Structure formats: C-alpha cells, structure tokens
C-alpha cells in the first residue's frame, strides 16, 4: 500500500499519461452531458470522477514539469553552444538580435515589394525605417569585438537621423490621413505582440545598466523599435474602431512622443559614451 501511495505521490510519466487521457475522456463526457441536460445519477458520478482526475492531472503537471525542466537544462548545459546561451546574458542578447535583424530584413523586403507593386510611397517609408534599424543592429553586431565605443557613438548619431526620418514619416501620415491597417481581428494579435515587445524592451533596458556598449546599443535600438510598434498599433486601432478623422490628433501626439523618445535615446547615448570614456581615461 505504501508503494502505491509513493507511486501516486511521485507519479512516473506513464501514469501521468493515463490520467491525462482519462481527464480528456471524462471531461468531454461531462461537457456532453451538461449540454444535453442529463440529470441521472451516473452523470453526477462522471462529474465527480472528471473533477478528481482533473485535480490529479494538475498535480502531476506540478510535479513533473520542474523535473523535466531540470533534466532539459542539464542536457542543454552539456552542449557548449546552449550552455553559453543559458549562462551568458550578453551572448543570449546577441543571438536574439540576429533573429530580430532577420525579421527587420524580411519586413523591409515585404514592404519594398508592396511599394513597387502598388506604387506606394507609404510602404517604401516603412521599408526604409526597418532597413535603418537593420543597419544599426548590423553595425553594432559587427563591432562587438573591437571599436565598441565608436560603434556606440555611431548608433547614437543614427538615432538623430532616425528622429528626422520619423518626423517626416509622421507629417506624411497626418497630412495624408494614412494609417497602418491589419486584416480583420488580427489587429488584436498584433496588439498583444506590441505590448509584449515594449514590456520586454523596458525590462531588458533595466538589465543592461552594467553591460558593455554593444549590449546597451542593442537594447536601445530594441526600445525604439518597440515604441514604433506602439505607434503603428495605435493608428491601426483608431482607424478601425473610430469614427471621423479626430483620431489623427491622437496619432500626432503619440508620434511626437515616439520622436522625442528616439531623440532622447541618441542624446542619452552620447552623454553615456562621454562618461564611460572619461572613466576609462
């Protein structure tokens, strides 16, 4: 009896699978009986069994997941690349940046194709913005082994150019009453992604206070990228769910905030580079 209790207390994987299967079967049966409004005694028995196996299934997940995570982590740490990926925040940031740069490139190419196909200056402007971000990330990545300080200053100066471009972009958007658009209800998926992006950018920025020039520059670029995503999301939401053209005033305010943030990042980076340089001297 004690062995059986210990097995249920620390369930093996096969036992957990059995209870997951029972949970699906009894849960489906309970839903069907509830829809058909069956009130026989056996229905309540099935309800009780479904609740019991569901509770135990949740317990097995709580017990199994930490062990599975530990084993997976030990396995990943046995591989040099994944061990470095897990243990070094800077290396993990660089690998993530490669993926982000690839996304910028793909999005830029997509908008270039649309700009040529539709003869759209708007799509061309969006493509240009993402190409600028890609160039900034690329320069920072290529300079991570040497000339980090010079690359950091170039990134700061690029923010001034990006601010000028965003100002032209914003004037074009307000003057021609143009907005970002997303098909159907996919706007909510883009909304979730944009808020996730800005949240992670802020958290990452806090973590990089003591990192080197390369990591700091990458995180500042990520914050600028995330703020632009919020601007594009707002224009899409207001365009889709507002009546009239009054929403353009809100787009102008948000756009001005994004421009100010981009400019502030450039100024802050220059100040930070002078302080760091002074300490090194």
| DSSP codes, 266-280 | HHHHHHHHHHHHHHH
Contact 266, 160 (CB under 8 A): yes
pLDDT of residue 280: 44
Distance CA 42, CA 40 (A): 6
The b-or-e profile of 130-162 (16+ CB within 10 A means b, else e) is bbbbbebbebbbebbeeebeebbbbbbebbeeb
- Tokens read off for 56: 């135990």
Q: What is the mean pLDDT of residues 230-255?
A: 76
Distance CA 133, CA 220 (A): 11
pLDDT of residue 272: 84
Q: Each residue of 71-99: pLDDT tens digit?
A: 777 776 777 767 776 676 667 777 777 87
Distance CA 17, CA 56 (A): 11
Contacts 24+ apart (CB under 8 A), 245-254: 245/177, 248/174, 248/177, 251/173, 251/174, 251/179, 252/170, 252/174, 254/230
pLDDT of residue 278: 44
pLDDT of residue 209: 67
Is 81 in a helix, a strand, or coil? helix
Q: What is the mean pLDDT of residues 194-215?
A: 78
pLDDT of residue 127: 83
276 pLDDT higher than 60: no
Q: pLDDT band at 260, cuts 50/70/90?
A: very high
Maximum separation of any 2 CA atoms in the chain, in Å: 84
Q: What is the mean pLDDT of residues 187-196?
A: 76
130 pLDDT higher than 80: yes
pLDDT of residue 210: 66
Percentage of the chain modeled with pLDDT above 70? 86
Q: pLDDT band at 267, cuts 50/70/90?
A: very high
In the predicted model, what is the mean pLDDT of the chain? Answer: 79
């Amino acid at each position: 009896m004690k062995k059986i209790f210990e097995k249920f207390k620390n369930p093996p994987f096969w036992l957990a699978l059995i209870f997951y299967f029972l949970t699906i079967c009894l849960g489906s049966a309970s839903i069907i009986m509830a829809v058909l409004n069956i009130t026989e005694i056996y229905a309540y028995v099935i309800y009780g069994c479904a609740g019991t196996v569901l509770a135990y299934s949740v317990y097995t997940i709580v017990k199994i997941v930490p062990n599975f995570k530990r084993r997976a982590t030990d396995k990943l740490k046995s591989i040099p690349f994944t061990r470095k990926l897990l243990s070094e925040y800077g290396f993990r940031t660089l690998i993530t940046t490669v993926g982000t740069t690839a996304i910028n490139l793909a999005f830029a190419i997509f908008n270039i194709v649309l700009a040529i196909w539709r003869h759209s200056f708007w799509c061309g402007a969006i493509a240009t913005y993402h190409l600028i971000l890609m160039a900034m990330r690329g320069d920072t990545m290529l300079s991570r082994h040497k000339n980090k300080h010079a690359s950091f200053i170039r990134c700061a100066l690029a923010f001034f150019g990006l601010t000028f471009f965003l100002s032209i972009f914003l004037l074009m958007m307000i003057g021609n009453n143009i907005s970002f658009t997303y098909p159907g209800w996919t706007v909510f998926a883009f909304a979730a992604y944009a808020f996730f992006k800005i949240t992670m950018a802020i958290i990452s920025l806090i973590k990089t206070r003591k990192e080197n020039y390369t990591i700091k520059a990458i995180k500042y670029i990520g914050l600028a990228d995330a703020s632009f995503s919020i601007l594009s999301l707002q224009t899409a939401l207001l365009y889709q769910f507002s009546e009239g053209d009054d929403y353009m005033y809100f787009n102008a305010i948000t756009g001005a905030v994004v421009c100010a943030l981009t400019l502030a990042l450039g100024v802050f980076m220059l100040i930070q580079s002078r302080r760091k340089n002074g300490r090194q001297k």
